[in-house]
Chain A
């Protein structure tokens, strides 16, 4: 398998606080990667730097071999890098279906290839909503959704960009076991279609069952990277988690 994402020596500071300290990470095409770490360990900052929401101070990010430096967020989305936000950020004045039309019109249509007509868009929106089980809510406003449905919408909007790499940032927090299983199944399905997935999660059972490889961040550094069961036996990781 070839390399999809290559992060080299990535660093970011907020004032005097070092959020990311020389992170190196390589993700292969089609891989399922789990990323864990205590609160404030830099996971979300890492996502933000990769997706262009924040600018990294040192290091570089390569996607399919191309350097991403200077590319702003929407351009990274268009080349196939999608993320869901930790706290769902739906477009509140639009219907649930329209929330998914935005990435279809602005990302999928911006790529070379056949353009999506408004009829196609309606069909695709429906398909995506069915995938996450929100068909019944298509015409509702996001404010009518429950917290869980909101997370599903967030994920669906990221999937709608037809990404090569999907970063799911704590998509399962607060969900019940059966809902977690639903989302895991969905992510597995996407992965089977060839989408590389980085799962950032606190719920260990989900991470362990999903990930082929596990990476651990502590205080902005990568302290472990490898086969999940080995990583969890690593004394550094045990110390970070159990104090």
Chain B
């Protein structure tokens, strides 16, 4: 399938999803769906760096939070419509991703992973001490009661996240099948051999951190409008980092489909579980699933399906 065809098909699936959700006539569906779609974007973004190049980012929450706080900042200085804020969040997080890459990508993978945790704490400390965006007390965002055409505001946010998810997945698929994605895979398999084959590893890794960071920031940008009261402790929670990794690993990291499957499955499971179980139980399940999958099915659900198909063919 050509990228444009795929993108349009994605939009069509999105439109159907939106229509179906409207048919339920229940705004809760949109509240829950928003979180699931946000997971799709975060997992897809994580996978562009983590799955394709093999560099583990534990700081997804930081990039998400930077997107969210960019919105808070502009809410106070120069109010804009949410789609523009998404772009702003993407740009700022992308720049942070680029800087992060410059700082650490000359190092071996493990140091990069540790540095991402460091980045998380440093950024959180900066935000906690920055009173303009609310500091440790947090910031209120007053969202309009309704929007024209759609009615409820949550449906508007849902639609934005849905579009973003389609864009992110299309972009991930495009990268995967391009020369760029081919180079990413070479880096993941053997960085030294990649260099000896002429792959400009540093440049490619910087591209990956920038794109990955930008999408995470975009996922975070509408968040203040979603919860309407943003605290550092709600934006910087490790949960986003764990979810992004777990969803990608459970789905399978080598293709665009893996994170999507992982996020839809795990995200929906979490939304259902959140009705009955405490959030802690919820996260415990995610953590245990992550450990289980990395040990038992290292290539995730997609990997399982592939090996099953290969076995049937024989």
Contacts and interface: CB of A to CB of B under 8 A. Distances in A.
A115 B196 CA distance: 20
B192 A107 contact: no
Contacts of B254: 93
A152 B193 CA distance: 15
19 contacts: A53-B192, A53-B195, A72-B202, A74-B200, A75-B200, A78-B198, A85-B193, A89-B190, A91-B186, A91-B189, A91-B190, A91-B193, A93-B185, A102-B186, A102-B197, A103-B197, A103-B198, A105-B182, A107-B197
A52, A74, A92, A94 — most chain B CB neighbours (10 Å) = A74
A53 B201 CA distance: 12
A49 interface: no
A90 interface: yes
Given A93-B254, A102-B183, A105-B179, A73 B190 contact: no
B196 A51 contact: yes
Contacts of A110: 198
B32 interface: no
B164 to A, nearest CB: 29
Contacts of A53: 192, 195-196
A17 B40 CA distance: 51
A161 B197 CA distance: 7
Given A53-B192, A89-B192, A90-B190, A77 B185 contact: no
A141 to B, nearest CB: 11
Contact of A77 (B186, B189, B198): B198
Interface string B151-179: 00000000000000000000000000001
B29 interface: no
Given A74-B201, A94-B185, A94-B189, A102 B194 contact: yes
Contacts of B190: 89-92
B190, B193, B196, B199 — most chain A CB neighbours (10 Å) = B196
B191 to A, nearest CB: 10
Interface in A31-83: 51-53, 72-75, 77-78, 82-83
Contacts of B194: 74, 91, 102
A73 B196 contact: yes
A92 B196 CA distance: 16
Contacts of A102: 182-183, 186, 194, 197-199
Contacts of B182: 98, 101-102, 105
A93 B190 CA distance: 10
Nearest to A93: B189
B188, B195, B197 — most chain A CB neighbours (10 Å) = B197
Interface residues of B, number: 20
A157 interface: yes
B301 to A, nearest CB: 17
A121 to B, nearest CB: 10
B196 A83 contact: yes
A85, A93, A110 — most chain B CB neighbours (10 Å) = A93
B183 A106 contact: yes
Contacts of B186: 91, 94, 102, 106
A26 to B, nearest CB: 23
Nearest to A110: B198
B205 to A, nearest CB: 12
Nearest to A79: B198
B275 to A, nearest CB: 40
Contacts of A27: none
B199 A89 contact: no
A77 B193 contact: no
A158 to B, nearest CB: 7
Return the 5 tightest CB-CB contacts between A and B, nearest first. A107-B198, A73-B195, A91-B189, A89-B193, A106-B198
A231 to B, nearest CB: 29
Given A74-B201, A105-B182, 19 more contacts: A51-B196, A53-B192, A72-B195, A73-B196, A74-B196, A75-B200, A82-B196, A91-B185, A91-B194, A92-B189, A93-B188, A93-B189, A94-B186, A102-B182, A102-B199, A103-B197, A103-B198, A106-B179, A106-B197
B185 A85 contact: no
A165 to B, nearest CB: 13
A230 to B, nearest CB: 33
